């Protein structure tokens, strides 16, 4: 069993940067059949963003849906949702769009959407954008475009092996920047698909994982416990109905803001400040 105390040292609390809480309120697959408060329309997403901003979230991870409720990367639908959210929260949240393929979209389509939309922030699975060596050149061009256009990129990694590959891509300047933002997905490809807080340790023990600002997302009812672990280790957290609908105590959350409040309490328990959207923008752009 991994020795928590010996392998990963908790940071000095006095030097902690504010913790960024991101809410992922709907994802690509769930519907109101999974929870009646799961937002689907632009207006519902805007109301959710406002409630989660008040609860402590600095960023919303945005998925939009087609007329049948299916996953969409349609630029017009993104613009409608972004406009509705901005009307509700102004600049008090970073709006991060997903580029997730969900087996529907090609890499060319994913890149084309981002270039046309030119969002404030985008999340990208490295395995989708750089599946093999043959993709390196076009991926590098796209990642440089993001950097030049000040689109805040967050790279999604699913395993310690992917962290090692990510470090290699950075060393070869396929992924640019001295400091980058990554999301560690805990337990996605385990049979149980119920994350354990200890799932973060292999990610953090990889050589080359330094100089990354890291967040975690977790599956199932231990999402909140994983958020506590990430907060204590100096990381950031993503919570919400995309991956989990349950509170610490095993009861069903009323809405996404319940899970944001739970993550905020994790920071409060260890006297770690929460990031505002302004703080998060500065951190994710490498300005602090």
The tens digit of pLDDT for each residue in 239-286 reads 999 999 999 899 999 999 999 999 999 899 899 999 999 999 999 998
According to DSSP, the residues that pair with 96 across neighbouring strands are 61, 121
Task: Give the residue carrying structure tokens 């084309």.
Answer: 112
**Span 164-176, pLDDT tens digits:** 999 999 999 999 9
Rounded CA gap, 63 and 96, in Å?
Answer: 9
Three-state DSSP at 2 gives: coil
What the chain holds in terms of domains, given with CATH numbers, is 17-282 (3.20.20.70)
* pLDDT at position 288: 80
* pLDDT at position 2: 39
* pLDDT at position 6: 41
Cα distances (Å, whole numbers) of residue 155 to 74, 93, 96, 100, 258: 21, 19, 12, 11, 26
**Confidence at 3, pLDDT banded by 50, 70, 90:** very low
Q: Compute the mean pLDDT over every residue in the chain, rounded to the nearest whole number.
A: 92
Q: At what angle do helices 42-55 and 75-89 cross, to 10 degrees?
A: 40
Task: Give the percent of the chain with pLDDT over 70.
Answer: 91
Rounded CA gap, 205 and 226, in Å?
Answer: 17
Q: Are 202 and 160 contacting, i.e. CB atoms less than 8 angstroms apart? A: yes
Q: pTM to 2 decimals? A: 0.92
* pLDDT at position 4: 35
Measured over the CA atoms of residue 50, residue 56, residue 58 and residue 63, the dihedral's sign is negative
Q: How many angstroms separate the first and last alpha carbons of the chain? A: 36
* pLDDT at position 195: 84
């Amino acid at each position: 069993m991994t020795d928590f105390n010996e392998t990963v040292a908790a940071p000095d609390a006095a030097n902690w940067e504010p913790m960024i809480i991101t809410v992922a309120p709907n994802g690509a697959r769930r519907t109101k059949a999974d929870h009646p408060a799961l937002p689907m329309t632009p207006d519902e997403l805007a109301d959710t963003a406002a409630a989660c901003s008040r609860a402590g979230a600095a960023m919303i991870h945005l998925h939009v849906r087609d007329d049948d409720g299916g996953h969409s990367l349609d630029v017009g639908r993104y613009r409608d949702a972004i406009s509705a959210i901005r009307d509700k929260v102004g600049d008090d949240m970073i709006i991060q769009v997903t580029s997730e393929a969900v087996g529907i979209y090609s890499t060319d389509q994913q890149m084309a959407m981002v270039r046309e939309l030119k969002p404030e922030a985008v999340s990208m699975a490295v395995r989708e954008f750089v599946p093999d060596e043959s993709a390196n050149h076009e991926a590098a061009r796209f990642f440089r475009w993001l950097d030049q256009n000040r689109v805040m990129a967050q790279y999604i990694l699913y395993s310690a092996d992917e962290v090692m590959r990510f470090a290699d891509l950075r060393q070869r300047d396929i992924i640019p920047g001295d400091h980058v933002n990554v999301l560690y997905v805990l337990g996605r490809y385990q049979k149980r698909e119920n994350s354990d807080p200890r799932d973060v340790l292999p990610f953090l023990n990889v050589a080359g994982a330094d100089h990354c600002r890291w967040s975690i997302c977790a599956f199932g009812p231990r999402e909140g416990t994983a958020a506590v672990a990430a907060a204590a280790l100096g990381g950031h957290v993503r919570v919400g109905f995309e991956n989990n609908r349950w509170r610490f105590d095993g009861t069903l959350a009323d809405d996404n803001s319940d899970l944001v409040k739970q993550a905020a309490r994790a920071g409060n328990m260890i006297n770690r400040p929460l990031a505002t959207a302004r703080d998060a923008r500065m951190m994710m752009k490498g300005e602090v």
